[in-house]
Amino acid sequence: LEIAMGVTGADGGSLMLLNEETRNLEIVAGVGQEQPEKMNLGPGKGIAGFVFMSGRAEIVNNAPCDPRFLPGS
């Protein structure tokens, strides 16, 4: 995660993985802003869920201004 942040120049980031049992995305690593202890997003929810469903990586330069942004995610 820190290498990816260095390459992209990001101030923070998180890594989410799909929980096969719940079918939700869960944060497994985070750097920067305080990360929620237990953040779960369904596929298609928030920026991460949209990226998961589309299968296309994205760099979001100002997440809070993105209409897909969910506060706390």
pLDDT per residue over 5-57, tens digit each? Answer: 889 888 888 888 999 999 999 888 888 766 556 677 888 899 989 999 999 98
What is the spatial order of strands in the sheet that 24-31 belongs to?
Answer: 13-19, 24-31, 40-41
Indicate whether 1 pLDDT > 90: no
Q: What pLDDT is attached to residue 60?
A: 87
| 44 contacts 60 by C-beta, under 8 angstroms | no
The answer, as to whether pTM is greater than 0.85, is: no
